[in-house]
Structure 1
């Protein structure tokens, strides 16, 4: 490396002089694009120790209105292509304890057909926590949040604040551990530590999104993609970004790595004016139109009320979601039992139909007939037995 520590002094001096000049010019101009270019150039020239480099970082944070706690130098050093992005692993034991506590508080052992016959885990055991700082995505998110705030200021009709489980005021029945705070307290601390308090006046909340390792990496650097929505979670309420207040629900859509590690995103989401629906039968087009053509900003599908399962939150604008944290975890299995089931004659061949099964120990459970199983054929069901 010609510009490394062993480079000739004349080369090093010239590189430093060039970097210093570019940084100073960008600082004086106060232009975000020039500052970013000068910072990237300084990195390439191994000139990150210059006092002007730190000054340019502070100026860039000021111009871009980035949160004070963001480590822009790490974003420069670890940028992804043209984007200023960093994924920083958080090793603070108290931060780790808060996230585990949040997973525990929002865990509900409720089975839905989206589990495809897999049992509901006893617990989601946290492995790592990483914070995502993405310059462009944060700027777009903040701008959209402000636009929704102004919309609501001018027309408050049909606006209603919603409490979500990730910010619930009560501690629940989970045993206290290293962090015995309520979800409300934990969410407040996490929001302020990362950037700023959540804005209740626009229904800004923390929600989960389950995904694969590859998708988590892509979303971290390139935002959510509406055109990929529905590939995992379905389109019950239209083609949007599906999020949940319970880690258990988002866990249904995760894809494990070979070692069983799974990925959950903890996202800041602006729900704004919420289109609420609690009907068993849904109208995806009506949900989409309410947000894309109407004045609503998101959909709340209350399957908890009408089916006893979970509430689902859907947005149709990628800029209303910011990937704040990436969690890796493993499922802690429940005690399991198996029973063999004969596919009933009423099951339509070639479809994944949910049927009621009576287990040997007297339970009535819902099970999904695997695709390819025909009436009269047998298949095995895994379930949680009675204690």
Structure 2
């Protein structure tokens, strides 16, 4: 046991240093070890006595760890003693080493939780943590506890809790619980992610819902009608898609009206109210994919009456829209599309509808519109490019999440642009046998691509956005071709799209690809032109999206390729059977078996990385590299490492290495289609060396931070190209000062930290960077643990 010396000591003795909080004192580790033990045992008196012997200890990292030890064990009196003594844990940080709230909520130690609530409500992260912890009371119908937390401790409800209450099903306290939550929820349109389990109220599969989705999907809920009407009055967004992630890891997207139409227990009049509030939903396909059911077809499975009612509403909307039609190109075609879709899905006889036939809308509008489009007159698309740029801005992928727009198909952005071209594409999804439609679409496509190619060859200011727009058109075509190929749909609409894709001019495509590659510093090894040409044929691309304003392409790496063998060799060579506490008592696997690899070509993220790498090269030419050495991932034991990340102006001496980063399925998508987020640092383990992006040279270290994909055995580790620059090597035996190390990289001349815990504790070396632009996620590695 640590104890201060009672003997007289010289001025510079260890006892004097300890009493002053001198960091040179070698006994402070023993002091904090004892403080942690007392806190974990709940010895509040012992905690007070020990802290009184060295009052400056309350500002040290070890005291914050002691608060976590108390919270982890549910020792509220010891935690209160530490807080009263002046310990200020980092409540707003997602770091389990210094945030006791994480442990208190996880362990359901509510006496500890309430001690931390006043501090927690100052931070969004910790407020959300409290709300997530409250879900168990919501699902259990424990209104008394919820009232205590909401009324006395002032923890507000949120959309996540409201969704949980709805999806958990009714109970005798449902009315009180719903009323309590509705009074405190500020944003009823907030979309929340719910994982399957009794505690979330989500019974089947991962879901991403706003309350309106949950209210429409809820079964046998006595407050359903009241809730839906309340949400409608409160301005619920009915155009937002709810998502359900099945065990097959494919999204099933639905609008609130889809859920309502499928819900056989929902009153017909209530479904009609939803349809009347947002009639566009009547013409929307499940999963936003042509060929899937529209709401009337969803209702067909359980109620012919509801099906026919929704069909009548479709008809009424077409007729009223026709009467109100103005001279707007996009509106003409949109109305034609709705009319054609209605004629395809309706089961009602014309005598049941009365008045005009919906097909008359097509007969009246389509010939005139197609004749105007087929004129072939030269046009300027600058205005359309501007609307595209405004709707899909280029943002810093790691820092501007709120401004990021993800576009997975041409239809996504087409709903914003509302131009002839986009509406013609959607019209094709509904009816491919419209006379001359394919030829007109080809003309529209060629006109845009040739115009963009001309702009990219010139010096106009619009060149950057025009190149992005051209890339988006090509990417949209590829995504449609890939979707048609994956579904096996061989109908004429898919054939027309495939024909359009194959007919894109190579000369025009080259001009656009070259201008885009030049602007984003794309290495020639990416072979972007060849990649796009193959994609237009439905080959060589696994997925293509627009994210953060730029192109993201994913390619499957063949198992028989030298690249796959290289990564397989890295997995074998860098696996170390070592246990650390980050495994949270889990067993170390015998090995990691690589199952699949995807190459990531994120153009926007690459530009950020290449720009930062060039700046690091300049810094190193002035200051030198500090630490240089070999990492485990530098050794190639199988296959051949690819060179497609090498630029013609590759800066030398930037200390660049391939390193691992373990993540979840959601993290895989977020990082590869966006970027690393420093505000999420420490989410899985902690921030021993500061608030940065944590990387590893050993694959077994990164494995500690992965989670399985649903109920499958697959997990994800990203293999990242990492520019370490000037490395601050740290092998301190005592706990490092994370804030000081972080400052050394943010403003002290270093670019990264190498924490040598292998030397100190016999575990692993970790590498940390504090600028997300220093890391590029090059490969998605999906693997399983060998037990």
Normalization by structure 1: what TM-score?
A: 0.75
Q: 1:53 aligns with which of 482, 485, 509?
A: 509
Partner of 1:289: 743
Single out whichever of 111-120 and 194-203 deviates more from structure 2: 194-203
Partner of 2:457: 27
Q: 1:264 to 1:53 in 2, by over 3 A?
A: same
User: Equivalent residues in 2 for 1:86-165 (5 A)?
Assistant: 86-94=553-561, 95-156=563-624, 159-165=626-632
Q: 1:24 to 1:210 in 2, by over 3 A?
A: same
Distance in structure 2 (CA, Å) of the matches to 1:121 and 1:17: 57
Partner of 1:330: 784
Task: Tell me if the contact between 1:27 and 1:35 (Cα under 8 Å) persists in the aligned partners.
Answer: no
Task: Tell me if the contact between 2:471 and 2:551 (Cα under 8 Å) persists in the aligned partners.
Answer: no
Task: Tell me if the contact between 2:468 and 2:550 (Cα under 8 Å) persists in the aligned partners.
Answer: no
Q: 1:139 to 1:88 in 2, by over 3 A?
A: same
Structure with higher strand content: 1
Distance in structure 2 (CA, Å) of the matches to 1:310 and 1:205: 17
Q: 1:15 to 1:120 in 2, by over 3 A?
A: closer
User: Equivalent residues in 2 for 1:232-247 (5 A)?
Assistant: 232-247=684-699
SS in 2 for 1:79: strand
Q: Is structure 2 residue 490 aligned with structure 1 residue 37?
A: no
Distance in structure 1 (CA, Å) of the matches to 2:723 and 2:546: 25
**What is the Cα-based RMSD across aligned positions, in Å?**
2.5
Distance in structure 2 (CA, Å) of the matches to 1:196 and 1:104: 29
Give the C-alpha shift of residue 10 in structure 1. 4.1
Structure with higher helix content: 2
SS in 1 for 2:717: strand
Deviations for 1:14-68, whole angstroms, at most 9, x for unmatched residues?
4423432232222333833321113324566866512312332133223432122
Give the C-alpha shift of residue 135 in structure 1. 0.8
Task: Tell me if the contact between 1:161 and 1:201 (Cα under 8 Å) persists in the aligned partners.
Answer: no
Partner of 1:62: 518
Task: Tell me if the contact between 2:678 and 2:692 (Cα under 8 Å) persists in the aligned partners.
Answer: yes
Task: Tell me if the contact between 1:278 and 1:305 (Cα under 8 Å) persists in the aligned partners.
Answer: yes
Q: 1:11 to 1:134 in 2, by over 3 A?
A: closer
Single out whichever of 285-294 and 312-321 deviates more from structure 2: 285-294
Distance in structure 1 (CA, Å) of the matches to 2:630 and 2:475: 45
Task: Tell me if the contact between 2:754 and 2:768 (Cα under 8 Å) persists in the aligned partners.
Answer: yes
Deviations for 1:273-308, whole angstroms, at most 9, x for unmatched residues?
111111132111111111112001111100000000
SS in 1 for 2:759: helix
Single out whichever of 85-94 and 133-142 deviates more from structure 2: 85-94
Q: 1:90 to 1:16 in 2, by over 3 A?
A: same
Task: Tell me if the contact between 2:626 and 2:728 (Cα under 8 Å) persists in the aligned partners.
Answer: no
Distance in structure 2 (CA, Å) of the matches to 1:231 and 1:205: 24
Task: Tell me if the contact between 2:691 and 2:742 (Cα under 8 Å) persists in the aligned partners.
Answer: yes
Deviations for 1:323-365, whole angstroms, at most 9, x for unmatched residues?
01010000001xxxxxxxxxxxxxxxxxxxxxxxxxxxxxxxx
SS in 1 for 2:526: coil
SS in 1 for 2:523: coil
Distance in structure 2 (CA, Å) of the matches to 1:303 and 1:15: 58
Distance in structure 2 (CA, Å) of the matches to 1:247 and 1:237: 19
Distance in structure 2 (CA, Å) of the matches to 1:123 and 1:306: 24
SS in 2 for 1:232: coil
Q: 1:12 aligns with which of 442, 458, 461?
A: 442
Task: Tell me if the contact between 1:264 and 1:327 (Cα under 8 Å) persists in the aligned partners.
Answer: yes
Give the C-alpha shift of residue 126 in structure 1. 0.3
Distance in structure 2 (CA, Å) of the matches to 1:122 and 1:199: 39
Give the C-alpha shift of residue 100 in structure 1. 1.0
Distance in structure 2 (CA, Å) of the matches to 1:234 and 1:92: 35
Q: Is structure 2 residue 743 aligned with structure 1 residue 277?
A: no
Q: 1:199 to 1:249 in 2, by over 3 A?
A: farther
Give the C-alpha shift of residue 259 in structure 1. 1.0
Q: 1 or 2 for the larger relative contact order (CA 8 Å, sep ≥6)?
A: 1
| Contiguous gaps of at least 5 residues in structure 1 | 172-178, 334-387
Task: Tell me if the contact between 1:111 and 1:309 (Cα under 8 Å) persists in the aligned partners.
Answer: yes
Q: 1:243 to 1:199 in 2, by over 3 A?
A: farther
Distance in structure 2 (CA, Å) of the matches to 1:254 and 1:12: 46
Q: How many residues align?
A: 316
SS in 2 for 1:141: helix
